[in-house]
Amino acid sequence: MRNAAGLMMLAVCMASGQEKRVLTLSLSRAVEIAMSPDGATRARLALEQVNVAEARGRQALGALMPNVDGSYTFRDFTQNLQAFGIQLPVIPGVNLQLPALVGPITVNDWRASAAQSIFDLAAIRRYQAAKAQVSAAKADEGGARNLVKGAVAKAYLNAVRADAALDTAKANVALAERVLKQAKSQKEAGTGTGIEVTRAEVVQANERQRMIRAAEERSAARLNLMRAMNVGLDAELELTGTLKYAPAEIPEAAKALEAARELRPELRAQSERERAARLSYESVKYERLPSANAFGDYGTVGKAGEPLIPTRAAGVQVRIPLWDGGRRDARRTESAALLRQEGIRARDTAQQVELEIRLALEALKSAESQVAVALEAMAQSEKELAHAQRRYEAGVSSGLEVTDAQTRVARAREENVLAVFRQKAARVDLGVAVGNIDLVIEN
């Protein structure tokens, strides 16, 4: 009975393990999953970087806030008065020798102390630089989300393209089978030859080989999509999107660049990093200025076993930097170099954004032309195949003409799928380059 129960449990576990969850995906849903808290790794890391920058900002603010401490000190000590040059006076007529060693003395000290920065321009600038780094980290997170959305959108489109390519390969195999059947019929009727049948069989085998490769590419495209979304690779995807061509509006380069200056998070992030570097440079420069701090403490102190007596202290300390061995000058030189680096990066980022926009525009223009040519080529190749089949059936041409036309139809279909995919991928690239990828996803 125990063995039977164990086998039954094992069978249930194996059956449940073989079941795959079906995930129905549209393009917007795929992007939504990638942007969830458990979604794409790049977006999650960018969010954690924001948390790190905010924590550093709070640390910098701490230098300007009150600092309060509590303490308890217990001391049991002896002291050699002669070591401090203390000589007790000799009293005339009194034969008394006072000891040089005092103690042991036991003291309890309960105390609260506080300190507050009154003026420290260097610390203020460091806090402002930390806030600028927070703004830069938040903009970086927006840039990471923009890139992740673009990557997921392209992975989704590639998966849809792979589906369409597999359907096209299946249609090409079906076409090859019809041509082979026609060649065999013509041979049986005495109007065809064996070489025509063989040629049709070769074409059919080639199309079946392409179909196998298309199936492999489909599986790989779906795995890459799941990885981009950061979901389990054992899921079964059901894509609702189709590779349907829709003409795209191609903006002027000047307008796209103007929009990118407002929308691209990378430009905002680099601007904030440059501002943070400038404030850090100023903070080092202002370390030469005097700074002022207020301090105070209050507590009770006394010998163990005796009443404790309250004591206090309060005051203001002004610190005037004079000489630190050249460390401030070295830090100032370093911060100046870092500021120049951020300026170089700012210019390079602007040029990179412009390059991405111009490349995306050129790719989109080219893709639109490719789609138009591919549609025309597919229509003409299908007409050619229909004419060739009629001529072959009428006995006025050979089967070679049919198989050649069939091959051109198959390749035209494949080129049409690829051209439409390139057009949609170029739209995604342009959306990422401008910073309005959400509009591309929604449309």
Residue 6 scores a pLDDT above 50: no
What separation in angstroms does the CA of 65 have from each of 60, 114, 316?
A: 10, 11, 16
Q: Which residues are CB-neighbours of 390 under 8 A, at least 6 positions away?
A: none
Q: What is the pLDDT of residue 116?
A: 92
Q: CA-based angle 319:324:325, to the nearest 5?
A: 170
Extract the tokens encoding 404: 């050649």
Q: What is the pLDDT of residue 100?
A: 72
DSSP code at position 289: S
Query: What's the mean pLDDT in 394-422?
Result: 84
> For 177-232, how does the pLDDT look when each residue is reduced to its tens digit (9 = 90+)?
888 888 888 888 777 788 888 888 898 899 899 999 999 999 999 999 999 988 88
pLDDT band at 443 (very low <50, low <70, confident <90, very high): low
Q: How far apart are CA 251 and CA 96, in angstroms?
A: 107
Residue 427 scores a pLDDT above 70: yes
Using DSSP's 3-state secondary structure scheme, residue 115 falls into: strand
Please tell me which residue, 29 or 392, carries the higher pLDDT value: 29
Q: What is the pTM of this model?
A: 0.80
Q: What is the pLDDT of residue 13?
A: 43
Crossing angle of helices 327-393/265-285, nearest 10°?
170
Residue 17 scores a pLDDT above 60: no
Of all helices (H) and strands (E), which one includes residue 126? Answer: helix 121-188
Which domains occur in the chain, in start order?
Answer: 34-84+98-442 (1.20.1600.10)
Q: Which of 65-79, 331-345, 398-412 has the lowest mean pLDDT?
A: 398-412
Write the DSSP string, 224-286. HHHHHHT--TTPEEEE-------------HHHHHHHHHHH-HHHHHHHHHHHHHHHHHHHHHG
Strands 22-25 and 236-239: parallel
Extract the tokens encoding 71: 């303490």
Backbone angles phi, psi at 66, to 5 degrees: -60, 145
